[in-house]
Amino acid sequence: MTLFYSVTASKPVKYQLHKSSNLFSHRNKILLMNRENQHGGKCFVIIDNALYGPLYTEIVSYFEYHNIELKLIKVEGLESSKIFESVLYVISELNDFGIQRRSEPVLVIGGGVVMDIGSLACSLFRRGIPHIRVPTTLMGYVDAGIGIKTGVDYQNCKNRLGTYEPPSAVILDKGFLETLPSRHIVNGMGEVIKIAVIKDGRLFEDLKSHGKAAVLNHFQELGDSILDASIHGLITELETNLWETELKRPSDFGHTFSPIIEMKLAGELLHGECVAIDIAISSVIARKRELISQGRLDDILNMLDIIGLPCYHFIMTIDLLMAGLEERTIHRNGHQNCPVPTEQFQCEFLQDVTPDELKHAILYLK
Ligand SMILES: NC(=O)c1ccc[n+]([C@@H]2O[C@H](COP(=O)([O-])OP(=O)(O)OC[C@H]3O[C@@H](n4cnc5c(N)ncnc54)[C@H](O)[C@@H]3O)[C@@H](O)[C@H]2O)c1
C-alpha cells in the first residue's frame, strides 16, 4: 500500500445569538442581517403553521417596505410532519423561487419541528445555503434553535436523518412565547431542568424559587435569568463538541430512554415530557448507585412535578427501556454512555446499566 495523498481541511464555525423584539416592525432590521443588500432582492421564509395566520400581514408588510420579494411558506409544527417529505416540499419551493446562494439567508421561524425541517432543507439545497433561525417555542429558544443539528424522523426512529448545519445567526424574541400553549411552555422546561441538574446548581435554585411563576407568566416579565442560564449551559456544552466527536455528552442527559418512549407514544407525549421521564429514570439509577442523595432525588422529582412534567408513563417496561438503551448504545458507537446526575450538579457516564436497575426505577417512579 502506498499513501498517495492526505487531505486535511477545517472550517471555522461562527454564529451569534441575538436578542430582539418586534421583529416585523419596519425599523427593526435584525431579520435582514447577513444579507448583501438590505433593500431589494429576495427572501424565502419558512414559518410554523401556527404563526402563519397571525403574522401574515405583518410579514408581508415588512418585506414590502424593504422592497424585498418574499416567498412565505408554512410548515406544520407537528412531530408527524417531521419526515423527509416535508424537507422535499421546502426544497421544491426553494428551487422554484430561487435565491442567491450565499447572500440571501432563508428565515426559519417556528418551533423545534419547523426548525429541524427547515434547517435540514437549507443544509441539503445546493449542498448548503445560509439560514437564520427564529425560535418561537420554549424548546426552540433554549435548545432546538441554538445548536447546529437538523433532522427528521425515519422509519419510526427519531432524528434518524439529519445533518450538522450551523445557522448563520439565531434571533431570540421571547415575545413569541406569549401565545405558545401552556403545555408547550412546560414541555420546554424539560430541557431547562436537564441543564440545571447536570450543570448549574444556581439555575436549579432559581427554578426552585421562581420556575413555576415564570412558566405561568410564559417568561414575559419573569424568568430571564432562567432562560439565559439555560442557554449558556447548553452552548458551553455544545461549543466544545459541536460535531459530537466525543460521544460522552452531558447534554444527552434525559436522552437515553426518551427517544424510544417518544416514538412509541407517537405524539401522545411531547419531546420535553419524554426527556422529563428520562431525567427521572436516570436520577433514580443515580440514587441507587449513591451518586446523589435522597434529598437531591426528591428535589429533582418534585421540581418535575411542580413544573407539570411527568416522571412516569405506564408504557415503561423493562423490555422497552432496555431496547431504548441498546439503540442508544449503537448511536453512541457501542457504549452505553448513559449520563446520570451527581450530587455536585455534574454527570457521570454509566456503561453497565442493568435490567434490574431499570426495574427498580420503574417501580420507584410508579
Ligand atoms: N435540533 C435540535 O438540536 C433539537 C433539540 C431539541 C428538540 N428538537 C426537536 O424539536 C421538536 C420539538 O419542538 P417544539 O417543542 O418546539 O415543538 P413544535 O415545533 O412541535 O411546536 C409546538 C407547537 O406549538 C406551535 N407553535 C410554535 N410556535 C408557536 C407560538 N409562538 N405560538 C403558538 N403556537 C406556536 C407549533 O405549531 C406546534 O403546534 C422535536 O421534534 C425534537 O426532536 C431538536
In angstroms, what is the span from residue 290 Cα to ligand 1's centroid? 35
For range 186-198, the mean pLDDT: 98
Q: Is the pLDDT of residue 250 over 90?
A: yes
Predicted pLDDT of residue 224:
97
DSSP code at position 141:
I
Residue 267 confidence (pLDDT) above 90: no
Q: Does residue 48's CB lie within 6 angstroms of at least one atom of ligand 1?
A: yes
Q: Using an 8 Å Cβ cutoff, are 218 and 227 in contact?
A: no
pLDDT at 193 over 90: yes
Average pLDDT, stretch 238-244?
95
pLDDT of residue 153: 94
pLDDT tens column, 319-363: 999 999 999 999 999 999 999 999 999 999 999 999 999 999 999
Q: Is the pTM of this model over 0.85?
A: yes
Residues 145, 175: Cα–Cα separation, whole Å: 15
- Confirm if 231 and 17 have CB atoms less than 8 A apart: yes
pLDDT band at 266 (very low <50, low <70, confident <90, very high): confident
pLDDT of residue 57: 98
Crossing angle between the packed helical segments 84-97 and 112-124, to the nearest 10 degrees: 60
* Residues 117 and 159: beta-carbon distance below 8 Å: no
- Residue 293: the pLDDT is 98
- Taking residues 66-89, what's their average pLDDT? 97
By CB neighbour count within 10 A (0-12 exposed, 13-18 middle, 19+ buried), where does 167 fall?
A: buried
Rounded percentage of the chain residues whose pLDDT exceeds 90: 97
Our mutation pick for probing the ligand 1 site, out of 117, 133, 170, 184, counting the most ligand atoms within 8 A of Cβ, is: 184
| 60 in Cβ contact with 71 (< 8 Å) | no
Give yes or no for residue 78 having a pLDDT over 90: yes
Q: How far is CA 22 from CA 8, 11, 172, in A?
A: 44, 34, 11
Q: Which three cell numbers stand for residue 164?
A: 450538522
Q: Which residues, 6+ apart, have CB-to-CB distance to 138 below 8 Å?
A: 177, 180, 184, 185, 187, 188, 189, 192, 219
User: Quick one: average pLDDT of 192-204?
Assistant: 98
What is the pLDDT confidence band of residue 248, given thresholds at 50, 70 and 90? very high
Confidence class of residue 38 from pLDDT cuts 50, 70 and 90?
A: confident
- Nearest residue (by CA) to ligand 1, atom 37, is 77
Please give the Cα distance from 132 to 191 (Å, whole number): 22
The finding on whether 259 has its CB within 6 A of some atom of ligand 1 is no
Which of the residue ranges 153-157, 177-181, 196-200, 273-277 would you say has the lowest mean pLDDT? 153-157
- The secondary structure element, H or E, covering residue 44 is strand 42-48
- Which is more confidently placed, 116 or 157? 116
Q: What is the pLDDT of residues 209-237, one digit of tens each?
A: 999 999 999 999 999 999 999 999 999 99
User: Given the C-alpha cell 427547515, which residue does it identify?
Assistant: 118
* Banded model confidence at residue 127, pLDDT cuts 50, 70, 90: very high
Q: Is 294 in contact with 287 (CB distance < 8 Å)?
A: yes
Ligand 1 in reach of 143 Cβ (< 6 A): yes
Of the candidates 115, 109, 174, 100, the residue with the CA atom closest to the CA atom of residue 148: 115
Q: Are 352 and 363 in contact (CB under 8 A)?
A: no
Confidence of residue 37 (pLDDT cuts 50, 70, 90): confident
State the distance from the centre of ligand 1 to the C-alpha of 135, rounded, in angstroms.
8
Report the pLDDT value the prediction gives residue 140, as an integer from 0 to 100.
Answer: 98
Q: Is 339 in the pocket of ligand 1 (CB under 6 A)?
A: no
For the chain, give the mean pLDDT. Answer: 97
Q: Is 123 in the pocket of ligand 1 (CB under 6 A)?
A: no
**Do 238 and 196 meet the contact criterion of CB atoms below 8 Å apart?**
no
CA of 364 to the centre of ligand 1 (A): 31
pLDDT tens for residues 12-33?
999 999 999 999 999 999 999 9
Phi/psi for 171 (5° steps) reads -110, 120
Residues with active-site annotation:
149
- Best residue among 271, 273, 278 to mutate for probing ligand 1, ranked by most atoms within 8 Å of CB: 271
Which H/E stretch holds residue 320? helix 318-331
DSSP character for 140? I
At residue 156, the pLDDT reads 86
